[in-house]
Amino acid sequence: MIQNPKIFTLVAHALTKRPNVSAFILGAITVLGFAPLSVFLIPILTCALLFFILHAQKVTKIFVISFFFSFGLLISGTSWIYVSLHKFGGMHPLLAMLGTVFLSVIFALPPAVIQTLLAKLVSSPHRRLLVALPIGLALSDWCRGWFLTGFPWLSIGYSQIPMSPLSNYAPVLGIYGVTLACTLCSGSLGYLFKNLTLVGPKPHWKIGIILPALILFLSIGLGLIQWTEKISQQATTVSLLQGNISQDVKWTPEWLNKTMMTYLDLVRKEKSDLILLPETAIPLLSTNVPEWYWKALREHAQNYNSHIVLGIPEKSEEGKFYNSVIHIGSEGTNRYRKHHLVPFGDYFPMRSITSALLGYLSIPMSNFSPGAANQEPFDLGKQVLGVDICYEDVFGEEIIRQLPEATLLANFTNDAWWGESLGPQQHLQIAQARSIETGRELLRVTNTGVTAVIDHRGHITNRLPEFSESVLRAEIYGRKGITPYSRWGNFAFVFLSLSILLLGLKSTSYWPKTEKR
């Protein structure tokens, strides 16, 4: 073992001299681990250094340092919020910037609070590094998934999708289980780094290597398991239509006819078993669409024995608006209504207070009502299609509601709101995680990109270039069976995390009785 190499001492001093700045920089660097760069080792290393900074700090400082790390991660990785608010929402640049900062601040709070509580509970620097801090960060990612309706974007686990061996934990424990594997590795590496900065004997330094090795070997073993299998060796042909209608003209009256005809012309050229159109492909209430248009779609479906599934807003008989996906087949029509709505996107909470903001922003169709939490997948004969709309696919525990009946998943989205930012690529990576969790192929159809076909291992088998009017044609295979995550949801992750925390706090056999600072 290297005895106190100078380089490690210098790095440790630089990190702890201004811990808030260091944490913010580490958080910003962590974004490089996510799509589109996807250097999946970076988040593991940055979290290791974060834990090293935190492990010997006072409780009050741990709150601030944890906050700065999460704030750096979110403000650097969610530039698409500014794009949607300013470029397409019409908000003044300063206000859009403030809105982006405010959202990052709000969702940087759960990690800061949880890490602080656990640090107050655990005073030993060793236990903080190896148990409390890794568990705290993993649980905080989970908390962001439901805090204020949920914003699990940039959860650490997504950085491992799909190439890292740690992604093999997703079918068992979900994306937060992948986060847990990452943070436990980070805690061990942080512990190893701490030992490298100490003078004198380091009898326990091997823990920093053994634990990550065990986690890695277990993940490799899990990767050998086939959780699901094909329902048939006969392929289903699909066509995913990307109309490339710019968001700044999509809802204008001048473009309505052009938009409708663009998609109708694309449909008429396809003879696939399944033809998908993106979220709100038709920018008109379903009841206002001319009958001749519906007739043309029905006739095409009947002539080629196809199933057409398209996104369109609806108005119910009770006067409620829904962001819907409608299935048009030879034997009638089915629908799915978006359940998990986006605040200030799909609807404005506390409208009596936020009505002024609604009038200021140029966000069409922002008064949707939620559909039912549990909706039946579409029975298409050859396949049973599990449907979700846009942002819903960031909530893995909601996607599994349509399993095991669904043999295939489809996400209908419109990422045109995010322009050429990191958002569409990050959103694609999130969809890849849903494929791994469920062991299902996933069809992703979008307005401007990224339209793609994802296999049951989370790998992209085909995709279209962004910002192009095109059609993605592919052959896919439905799958049956159920993964542990599809059965348990996030319960298994929470139970395991708390169990590790309790065992780590109670065990005294493996902790050094003294330590040198």
Catalytic machinery residues:
279, 338, 390
Structure tokens at 318: 């009770």
Specify whether the CB–CB gap between 227 and 171 falls below 8 A: yes
In b/e form, how buried is each residue of 210-247, taking b as 16+ CB within 10 angstroms? ebbeebbebbeebeeeebbeebeeeebbbbbbbbbbeb
Task: Name the residue type at position 264.
Answer: L
**Bridging pattern class, strands 307-315 and 274-276:** parallel
In b/e form, how buried is each residue of 151-187, taking b as 16+ CB within 10 angstroms? bbbbbbbbbbbbebbbbbbbbbbbbbbbbbbbbbbbb
The number of helices, as runs of H, and strands, as runs of E, in the chain is 18, 14
CA angle 86, 151, 427 (to 5 degrees): 70
Q: For residue 230, which of 444, 11, 80, 407 has the smallest C-alpha distance? A: 407
Structure tokens at 466: 């962004």
The backbone torsions φ and ψ at residue 278, rounded to the nearest 5 degrees and listed phi first, read -75, 180
- Percent helix, strand, coil in the chain, to 5, is 55, 15, 35
Structure tokens at 283: 């920018």
Query: What is d(CA 64, CA 50) in angstroms, rounded to the nearest whole number?
Result: 12
* Alpha helix stretches (DSSP H) within 128-252: 133-144, 170-196, 207-222, 247-250
10-14 long-range contacts, CB within 8 A, separation 24+: 12/52, 12/193, 12/197
Instruction: Output the furthest CA–CA distance in the chain (Å, rounded).
Output: 83
